[in-house]
Structure formats: structure tokens, C-alpha cells
Structure 1
Amino acid sequence: MTDITVDLNGYCVNLRVAAIVTRGTEVLLCRPRGHDWWFLPGGRIKTNEDSHAALHRELTEEIGPGFEVIRPTVIVENFFDLDGTRFHELCTIYEVAWNGGELNGNPAEYEEVFAWFPREQLADIVLKPDFLKEPINNPQPGLQLIVNRDN
């Protein structure tokens, strides 16, 4: 299977899945090695793969099997620039509970570093996209649709 990412008319169009992984009052974030900003764990959806299956695959690869997917919580239509590339991304974000012990860790070959943060510290963290601080800190009972344009 191939990642669903296509270059169209100067935009990189992505289908992505992400997770708000919580452990008590903490939330799990990741960042690319060598950068100072954080984002939600997840990744691109592959052809013929639904978002739930993609989330299971990505989280198992990245953090291990100690999680429980609760529900989809946010759909994001996100327009942004990253490292000179314009993106048009559709992302389904799930609420996930961490029930395991230690994460898989942060081996040197991983592209990302993972860390737990108390929710009250999110205001001081560079999170991309920044608007996610609100649904992380104040989850809504239904499915939210957020359209974000950074460009």
C-alpha cells in the first residue's frame, strides 16, 4: 500500500490520521529530531486503508501496543506551509487512552522524539498546528470540524 499524498497544482495533498493520546492529565506529543516544535502522533493513511486501521498501524509502530482507541473527535481541513511546501491536508484525529507501561522509546533511528506533557503546560509549547491546544484541553462530546488556514 502507498501513502495517500499527491502533488496537485503546487500543493501536497495528504490524508492523515492523528491521536490525542492521554495518560491521566498528560498528553503525548512528538517532534521531529532537530526541531523545537511538537505535533500529535500519527501519520499518513495508505491506499485502501481506513483511518481507524491507519491509526492502529501508526501508533503500534511509533509507541507500542498499550493504547485504546476511544473515538474520532476532530476532522481537520488544514492548509499550511512547511519547509517551503504548501499543504492541503485532511486529518482525522482520534481520542486515545494509554493503558500501557513505557512507550517503545526513542531509538536513534526514529525520525521523531515522543514525550508526555501535562495539559496545563501546552500553552508554553510550540504545537503545530497551534489550534489543536483547544480540542486537547477542552474535548467536545461530538465530532468537531475545524478548517485551518495558515497560508
Structure 2
Amino acid sequence: MNDILFRTENWIFSYRVAGIMIHNNKVLLQKPTNDTGFAFPGGHISFGETNAEALIREFKEEIGADISITDLKWVAEIFFPWGEKPCHQICNYYQVTLTDKTQIPLDGQFISSEHLEGRDFTIEFHWIPIDSMNDIEVYPTNAAELLSLLGEGVQHFVYREG
């Protein structure tokens, strides 16, 4: 598939979608083994793919889980360093639920893998108690506040790292 991921001489542009999955007051987060922070599971949109199609595909590819998508919750404009270049990323976050609760562990952590730009990465998935979100490094850094606003409609935010 062709991800919507552009590189210019000075910038990288990324179009991503992520899922907010909550079970027993815990949220599912991913942590690449080469990173110190957590993020919401998801991935890049491919050309011709809807947000929903990409999110369903990413959850199936990365953790073998079938999901249903409920509502768009957050629209993010994210700026962060990607290697030696700055990245401008648009990420839409949707609330998602498992359609089959036997496909993944529903507590603790488990390991999976991801393939991006010709390389394979190991990813840890962790169920993090929502009330512990302020105690960990998570992207976006305002995730705990955003989770408290899930019932308030769609939230838009700009996140600048570094």
C-alpha cells in the first residue's frame, strides 16, 4: 500500500489515524521498543483509503484484532522531529471497540510488530489505567485531559514537540 507520507527537502508530511480503545477503565497504548513514550495505536492512511478502512486494517495487521469504530473524538495537527527533519502530521483519533474480546489480552501488556518504510519494528501494547495517564510519557502529552473530554464532542488540538 502507498502510505500518505511525503518527504521534501526540508519537511515530512504524515497523515495518520489512531484508535482510542478503553476497557475496564484502561486505555490501550502502543510503545515502540526504540521509543520511551506511548502513543495511541493506529497508522498511516493509504491513498484511496478512508480513515475507518485504515484504522480497521492497522488494528488487524498490528495486533490481529477486529474493531468497530464509533465516533471521531480528536483532530490533531502535530509537529515533531522525524529523524533530522521536522514532521507535520494530521492525525484523526476515533473511539474504537473490539468486536471479539478473545483476540487480544484485555489486561497487562503484549508484543506485536509493525512494518514501516521497509523496516520491521517490535511494538509493545499496554493497557494503562486512565487515572495513571499523567504518570507516563504519552503522545500527545495532553492525552489525559483529552480522555476526560471524550463525552464532549470532537476536540481539535495542535501539538508541538521540541
TM normalised by structure 1 equals 0.88
Whole-angstrom distance in 1 between the partners of 2:85 and 2:31: 18
Change (3 A) 1:140 1:68: same
Whole-angstrom distance in 2 between the partners of 1:6 and 1:103: 33
Once the two structures are superposed, the pairs formed by residues 1-151 of structure 1 within 5 Å of their partners are 1-99=1-99, 100-103=101-104, 105-107=110-112, 111-151=122-162
Whole-angstrom distance in 2 between the partners of 1:19 and 1:30: 11
More strand by share: 2
Cα deviation for residue 66 of structure 1 reads 4.3
Q: Which runs of 5+ in 1 are unaligned?
A: none
Cα deviation for residue 136 of structure 1 reads 2.0
* Residue deviations 1:34-77 (CA, integer Å, cap 9, x gap): 33211110000001111110000001112223432111111101
Change (3 A) 1:82 1:8: closer
CA contact (8 A) 1:23 1:98 kept: no
CA contact (8 A) 1:17 1:54 kept: yes
CA contact (8 A) 2:112 2:125 kept: no
Whole-angstrom distance in 1 between the partners of 2:32 and 2:143: 18
CA contact (8 A) 1:66 1:101 kept: no
Cα deviation for residue 128 of structure 1 reads 1.8
* AA at the equivalent of 1:56: I
CA contact (8 A) 2:63 2:112 kept: no
CA contact (8 A) 1:119 1:137 kept: no
CA contact (8 A) 2:19 2:93 kept: yes
Whole-angstrom distance in 2 between the partners of 1:15 and 1:145: 15
Whole-angstrom distance in 2 between the partners of 1:97 and 1:24: 12
Whole-angstrom distance in 1 between the partners of 2:11 and 2:144: 26
Alignment root-mean-square deviation, CA: 2.0
